[in-house]
Amino acid sequence: MEFMVQESSAGEREPTSRAVRVAFFGGSFDPPHNGHLAVARAAREALGLDRVLFAPVGAQPLKPQGSTADFHHRLAMTELAIAGEPAFGVSLLDAPNPAGTPNYTLHTLQKLKADMPGVNLFCLMGADSFVSLRRWYGAAEIPFEATLVIASRPGEDIQDLAAHVPAGLALEIPQFCLQSANPDIALVTCALRNPQGRTASLYILPGLNVEVSATEVRAQIRSGNIADAAHPLIPGAVAGYVREHGLYL
Ligand code: ATP
């Protein structure tokens, strides 16, 4: 089955169709926080995404110490975090492997593509993840499986991304600085070129810089600072779940 959406714009007689735009957003979500939501919302608006799939990871290959909360808690909290956002969903694509082996993003994206033929696939990540990309399994192939969308993040120099592209790829920056479906959200379009001359688009959201990390959230919970539902770092429903299950203490 091909996934298409019908679009009609002013002056057009017939609606045109375009491939459905789906973004994969992998992470530990330990716990999910307002930074994750801000990245997904900005990407959805700037790129006209139809769906963002939040996929809590079973075993992150570059975090051998594992996550703090069990997978079922991270999954439940991610569901609570995105409730009320109709374009967002939670995916089990990166659920723990039966043998506990690491989840590789390359394989996950290939599975997703096979499950959703014809979909225009994107992969969201923060600038800190992009900086580590060259150490990921099959790093040079990933941008050709899904168009990368990189969100700026405090502490990461967005001007310096070219220094971190996977070995064998070259970043051409920027081709042009426009195309955002929402003029309030800056979007920079670049291209990655492989040695065979094949190019893949890569998008940067340079204006985000949301000062939240799960590490900071866990530290605040440990020190008793996330007691009420109106905390600025995490959705209220996530704070409630954390309290109810005594997580991160
Ligand atoms: P931790 O502090 O435990 O390392 P984290 O806050 O980075 O966690 P993850 O669940 O590991 O959260 O992140 C999932 C993805 O979301 C990663 O690609 C990460 O770069 C991105 N991300 C998380 N928080 C932000 C943020 N504030 N701004 C931009 N990207 C973010």
**Cβ-contact 242, 190 below 8 angstroms:** no
What pLDDT score does 2 carry?
52
Ligand 1 lined by 39 (C-beta under 6 Å) = yes
| Mean per-residue pLDDT, 222-243 | 85
State the average pLDDT for the chain: 90
Instruction: Tell me the CA–centroid distance for residue 36 and ligand 1, in Å.
Output: 7
Reported as a pLDDT band with limits 50, 70 and 90, residue 6 is low
Q: Let me know if 176 is exposed, middle or buried by CB neighbors in 10 A (0-12, 13-18, 19+).
A: exposed
CA distances for 240 relative to 34, 47, 71, 142, angstroms: 15, 32, 18, 36
Q: Per-residue pLDDT for 235 more than 70? A: yes
What pLDDT score does 227 carry?
65
Reported as a pLDDT band with limits 50, 70 and 90, residue 1 is very low
| Mean per-residue pLDDT, 129-141 | 96
Q: What is the pLDDT of residues 163-172, one digit of tens each?
A: 999 999 999 8
- Residue of the CA atom closest to atom 12 of ligand 1: 214
Segment among 4-8, 100-104, 159-163, 179-183 with least mean pLDDT: 4-8
Ligand 1 lined by 41 (C-beta under 6 Å) = no
What pLDDT score does 181 carry?
72
Nearest atom, ligand 1, residue 35 CA: 27
Q: Per-residue pLDDT for 195 more than 90? A: yes
Instruction: Tell me the CA–centroid distance for residue 8 and ligand 1, in Å.
Output: 36
- Residue of the CA atom closest to atom 18 of ligand 1: 125
Q: Per-residue pLDDT for 10 more than 80? A: no
- Residue of the CA atom closest to atom 8 of ligand 1: 214
Nearest atom, ligand 1, residue 217 CA: 2
Q: Per-residue pLDDT for 73 more than 70? A: yes
| Mean per-residue pLDDT, 209-226 | 92
- Asked whether the CA dihedral 144, 146, 152, 156 is positive or negative, the reply is negative
Reported as a pLDDT band with limits 50, 70 and 90, residue 222 is very high
What pLDDT score does 186 carry?
87
Ligand 1 lined by 151 (C-beta under 6 Å) = yes
Reported as a pLDDT band with limits 50, 70 and 90, residue 105 is very high
Judged by DSSP in three states, 245 sits in helix
Between CA 94 and CA 56 the distance in angstroms is 6
Maximum separation of any 2 CA atoms in the chain, in Å: 60
Q: Is the peptide bond before 96 cis (omega within 30 degrees of 0)?
A: no
Between CA 211 and CA 213 the distance in angstroms is 7
Residue whose token pair is 């963002």: 52
Buried-state track 4-37, b at ≥16 Cβ within 10 A, e below 16: eeeeeeeeeeeeeeebbbbbbbbbbbbbbbbbbb
What pLDDT score does 220 carry?
93
Q: Per-residue pLDDT for 229 more than 70? A: no
